[in-house]
Amino acid sequence: MNNYKIEHVVPHSDPMILLNRLNGYTDESGCCEVDISPDSLFYDESLRGVASYIGCEYMAQAIAAYAGALAKDRGDAVQIGFLIGTRKYKTYAPVFNNGSTLKVSVARLYQEESGLSVFECQIHDAETLLAEAKINVFQPQDPMQFIRENQ
């Protein structure tokens, strides 16, 4: 495992990089962290945190960071992927609270040669499970060709 900065493994630009760190990854899983603060994109002062439905995007970016790290390990460029959908997104708190550091864990359950994958994802604050879902993603061989064909 290499120690990549998050901005080097997700195909996003600031301010849309929502995660703070890639903590680790294996061939089958990854773990990232996000620090919740008033500087967080989507921070809502009235909630004193970030609404927990944003967790779906934290999970998607953790999948992107995992895939990006594996690509860099192979000497490949980081590619964009597409969030196809989520199944059974459950939250156990309405807000990710100011001052918390969330651990976003992703584990690949299934992958097709076509680029379609399914991940089991969880978000924890310390030992407390705050959200979980199965996320479906698609990473085509040539993302720009795919976009052109589907416009």
- Name the β-bridge partners of 92: none
pLDDT at 142 over 90: no
The pLDDT value recorded for residue 90 is 97
The pLDDT value recorded for residue 59 is 98
Domain 6-149 has CATH 3.10.129.10: yes
Task: For residue 103, give the nearest of 24, 40, 26 by alpha carbon.
Answer: 24
Q: Both tokens of residue 105?
A: 């864990």
Average pLDDT over residues 90-118: 95
SS3 52: helix
Give the pLDDT confidence of 106-137 residue by residue, as tens digits. Answer: 999 999 988 899 999 999 999 999 999 999 99
Dmax (CA) for the chain in angstroms is 45
Q: Domain segments of the chain: what residues?
A: 6-149
High-pLDDT (> 70) share of the chain, %: 100
pLDDT at 26 over 90: yes
